[in-house]
Amino acid sequence: MDIIDKLYKAVEDKGVVCVGLDTSLNYIPEFFKGKFQNNVEEILFNFNKEIIDSTYDVAACFKVQIAYYEALGIDGLKAYSRTVKYLKEKDLISIGDIKRGDIADTAKQYAKAHFKGDFEVDFITLSPYMGLDSIEPYMPYLESGEKGAFALVRTSNKGAEDLQYVDTKNENKVFHMVGEKVNTMGKSALGSFGYSTLGAVVGCTHVDEAKEIREKMDSTFFLIPGYGAQGGKAEDVALYLKNGNGGVVNSSRKILLAYKRENREKEFALCAREEAIRMRDEIKRACDNLKA
């Protein structure tokens, strides 16, 4: 099964939640850190393992943001590697949030680094704003069906308006142009459900053009940030999906820190599960209401 078909089926079976393992040491309860004598690698990996074990049946996939691990040096990267390997062992879908955007031989090396070896994941994130030749070196992996990528099209941060919303000569926005090019480029790597292994990152914090984006990017699977902490609501998310599928919705802090809101430090993993279920069900209701 192509990796994009596997993701589509995971959404169909488990819902749209993507658990973001943007794991800061500050997010981890002190009692848990104490179990591992402040060994950074063991703390990070074992915390992630607890979150994965508590949410794998209610989440479609897991996104591991590499910056949180790189910032902690070799020990952090060892924890990253162990995390993505653990996801593979459990036959769960992994997204390496690496946002690479270079070209030519450099991009080929990034592809090798994250589609093979110690950092191997199923999907990665890419930035196409240097040009589409920054995506081309990854296409052989994507066209094989074994790997996938999400290209940044319209992001959820406030600064997206600085560049992505600039008007083009045909009275479109830059992100529209990028999205159309990504959608066209991905047509060479379609799975059996009609979606490409070349997906797009499309934030749900700007909803005015949601319907247009979804219609124009007809064969593009979305990775949707912005839900929760950045202000995106379930009703906003539903606009970017097709009958409740065609995308996954990332949540990091809201899931990882659910225990803090409820003051249940010892039950951090159970709280993460409860938040993932709440999020899944809320978005499903919004999708059902949209169809009604």
pTM confidence score:
0.95
Residue 150 has pLDDT above 90, yes or no: yes
Q: Which of 9, 99, 173, 242 is catalytic?
A: 99
Residue 23 has pLDDT above 90, yes or no: yes
Read off the pLDDT of residues 33-74 as tens digits, 9 standing for 90 and up: 999 988 999 999 999 999 999 999 999 999 999 999 999 999
Residue 205 has pLDDT above 80, yes or no: no
Cβ-contact 270, 264 below 8 angstroms: yes
**What is the rounded CA–CA span in Å between residue 3 and residue 147?**
6
Q: Of the given ranges (16-20, 103-107, 174-178), which has the lowest mean pLDDT? A: 174-178
Model confidence at 228, in pLDDT bands (50, 70, 90)?
Answer: confident
6: its two tokens: 């596997």
**What is the rounded CA–CA span in Å between residue 7 and residue 117?**
22
Residue 160 has pLDDT above 80, yes or no: no
Model pLDDT, residue 226: 85
Domains identified in the chain and CATH numbers: 3-291 (3.20.20.70)
Model confidence at 229, in pLDDT bands (50, 70, 90)?
Answer: low
188: its two tokens: 């060479």
63 in active site: no
- In order of 153, 202, 251, 277, the CA distances from 56 in angstroms are 28, 24, 14, 11
